[in-house]
């Protein structure tokens, strides 16, 4: 059993929780994920690790209430317990030593995954530009946390109610055209957003990673449910990813 030690509503549908899991907290690295089950009848649901604290032995997850399992998870309060909380799973984010300047892009709840990536690279001394895209001002979250782990943070909203009006790809293109020679771009969010980020960087020849999170069952590569086609080869997101070029 795994105890919920902190719960915070980030907006009307996105919740942050800290779970007591000292073994995972000691080993987890940026880009890895966990699989949880609320109870014996629950689904196995993967969530990226948003943060860890080795002193308190806690793992932070951020999730959107979009189905039965995440709604049940959101009903838990501080002091309640989850049945299963397994990890860390997946490969940690890895980049070559010659990477000095990166742009990390999060779309909506994908910012919860982009945040630990930015934190990792910023801690390593890299120049980190971060673009966080939301539909509107009322669903913006983690702004102060992202600002603390980025050289520059740019927030965009589809309707222009906060930050700059437009899509993350608009801001990315303007930054590249302004002379920012990124060694790497990482995009995390809805599939269409990641697709168009890749289309934006392609003409410039900038290496781009995306985070894929298809349906997973066991998280160890045995079920084959998370297979994806990458460069004409079949990969399993749970063991070969979740980051792919």
Over residues 62-93, the pLDDT tens digits come to 998 888 899 999 999 999 999 999 989 999 88
Give the separation between CA 206 and CA 22, rounded to whole angstroms: 38
**Same domain assignment for residues 67 and 160:** no
Task: Give the domain extent around 178.
Answer: 101-211
**Same domain assignment for residues 134 and 75:** no
Q: Supply the pLDDT for residue 103.
A: 96
**Same domain assignment for residues 114 and 192:** yes
**218, part of any domain:** no
**220, part of any domain:** no
Q: Supply the pLDDT for residue 13.
A: 83
**Same domain assignment for residues 20 and 122:** no
Residues 6+ apart with CB under 8 A from 55: none
- Rounded to two decimals, the pTM is 0.88
Q: How many domains does the chain have?
A: 2
Counting beta carbons within 10 angstroms of the beta carbon of residue 180, is it exposed (0 to 12), middle (13 to 18) or buried (19 or more)? middle
Q: Supply the pLDDT for residue 35.
A: 92
**Same domain assignment for residues 85 and 105:** no
Q: Supply the pLDDT for residue 55.
A: 92
Q: Phi/psi at 56 (nearest 5 deg)?
A: -95, -10
**Same domain assignment for residues 110 and 202:** yes
**Same domain assignment for residues 123 and 71:** no
Q: Supply the pLDDT for residue 59.
A: 95
Q: Supply the pLDDT for residue 188.
A: 92
**Same domain assignment for residues 129 and 149:** yes
Q: Give the residue from 28, 57, 89 where a domain finishes.
A: 89
Q: Supply the pLDDT for residue 113.
A: 85
Question: What residues of the chain score a pLDDT lower than 70?
Answer: none
Give the separation between CA 63 and CA 17, rounded to whole angstroms: 9
**Same domain assignment for residues 123 and 193:** yes
Q: Supply the pLDDT for residue 221.
A: 85
**Same domain assignment for residues 58 and 118:** no
């Amino acid at each position: 059993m795994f105890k919920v030690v902190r719960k915070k509503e980030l907006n009307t549908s996105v919740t942050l929780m800290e779970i007591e899991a000292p073994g995972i907290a000691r080993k987890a690295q940026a880009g890895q994920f966990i699989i949880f089950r609320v109870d014996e009848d629950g689904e196995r649901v993967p969530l990226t690790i948003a943060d860890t604290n080795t002193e308190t032995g806690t793992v932070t997850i951020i999730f959107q209430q979009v189905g039965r399992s995440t709604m049940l998870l959101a009903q838990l309060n501080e002091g309640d317990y989850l049945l299963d909380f397994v990890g860390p799973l997946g490969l940690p984010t890895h980049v070559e030593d010659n990477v000095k300047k990166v742009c990390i892009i999060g779309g909506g709840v994908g910012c919860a995954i982009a945040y630990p990536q930015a934190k990792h690279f910023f801690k390593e001394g890299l120049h980190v530009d971060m673009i966080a895209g939301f539909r509107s001002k009322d669903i913006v979250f983690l702004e102060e946390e992202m600002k603390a782990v980025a050289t520059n943070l740019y927030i965009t909203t589809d309707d222009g109610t906060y930050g700059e009006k437009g899509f993350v790809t608009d801001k990315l293109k303007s930054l590249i055209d302004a002379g920012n020679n990124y060694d790497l771009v990482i995009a995390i969010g809805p599939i269409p957003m990641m697709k168009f980020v890749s289309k934006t960087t392609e003409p410039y020849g900038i290496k781009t990673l995306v985070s894929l999170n298809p349906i997973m069952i066991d998280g160890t590569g045995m079920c084959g449910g998370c297979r994806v086609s990458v460069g004409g080869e079949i990969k399993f997101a749970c063991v070969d990813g979740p980051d792919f070029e």
